[in-house]
Amino acid sequence: MCLGVPGKVLETYKLHETLMGKVDFGGIIKEVCLAYVPDIQVGEYTIIHVGFAITRLDEQSAQETLALFRETGLLEEELLAADDHAAASETQPS
């Protein structure tokens, strides 16, 4: 279920008494319904499913999650770099 795509709110307005907005998905701009994220501010990110923002994306949580990933298995760092190097030389550079 449920393809959800992150997008940045560019503007908000009311249409048929419902909060709507323009959202930028990496260069693709679409009108979406923002009724379920009534406090969303222009410039914030949200996840869109079938034309509806279903949640605000929390930048701090995202950074914390990524930081957690970066700390995972730090000891294997050197091994990993060696592996990557091997993988990269498998196919010719484009």
Partner 1 sequence: MKYLDEFRDPDLAKRLFDEIHAITTRHWALMEVCGGQTHSIIRNGIDKLLPDKIELIHGPGCPVCVTPLEVIDKALAIAAHPNVIFCSFGDMLRVPGSGQDLFSIKSQGGDVRIVYSPLDAVKLARENPSKEVVFFGIGFETTAPANAMAVFQAKQQGLMNFSMLVSHVLVPPAIEAIMASPTNRVQAFLAAGHVCSVMGYWEYEPIAERYHVPIVVTGFEPLDVLEGIRRTVMQLEAGRAEVENAYPRAVQRQGNIPAQTILKQVFEVGERKWRGIGNIPNSGWHLRGEFRQFDAAAKFAVEDIQTQESPLCHSGEVLQGLIKPNQCPAFGKECTPRKPLGATMVSNEGACAAYYQYGRFVSLESITS
Partner 2 sequence: MTVGVDFSEWVCPLPLRDYPNVIMGHGGGGKLSAELIEHLFMPAFQNNLLETLGDSTIVTVPQQRLALSTDSFVVHPLFFPGGCIGDLAVYGTVNDLAMSGARPLYLTAGFILEEGLSLSALGSVVERMGAAAQAAGVQIVTGDTKVVEKGHGDGLYINTSGLGVIPDGVHIAPQNAQAGDVVIVSGTIGDHGMAIMSVREGLEFDTVIRSDTAPLNHLVAAMLAASNDIHVLRDPTRGGVASSLNEIARSSRKGILIDERKLPVNPAVASACEVLGMDPIYVANEGKLLAIVARQNAEAVLEAMRQHPLGQQAAIIGEVVEQHPGLLVARTGIGGTRIVDMQIGEQLPRIC
Residues that bind partner 2 (CB under 8 A): 1-3, 5, 22, 25-31, 48-50, 87, 91-92, 94
From the list partner 2, partner 1, none, pick the one residue 43 interacts with, judged by a Cβ distance below 5 to 8 Å according to partner type: none
**Dihedrals phi, psi of 61, to nearest 5 degrees:** -60, -40
Q: Rounded CA gap, 35 and 20, in Å? A: 7
CB of 32 to partner 2, least distance (A): 10
Mind giving me the DSSP string for 41-69?
A: -TT-EEEEETTEEEEE--HHHHHHHHHHH
Q: Rounded CA gap, 11 and 26, in Å? A: 15
Site residues (vs partner 1, CB under 8 A): 1-6, 8, 16-18, 25-26, 30, 32-33, 35-38, 45, 47, 49-52, 54-55, 57-59, 61-62, 64-66, 68-70, 72-73, 76, 80, 83-84
Q: Which is nearer to partner 2, 31 or 64 (CB)?
A: 31
Q: Which is nearer to partner 1, 11 or 81 (CB)?
A: 81
Q: Rounded CA gap, 59 and 1, in Å? A: 24
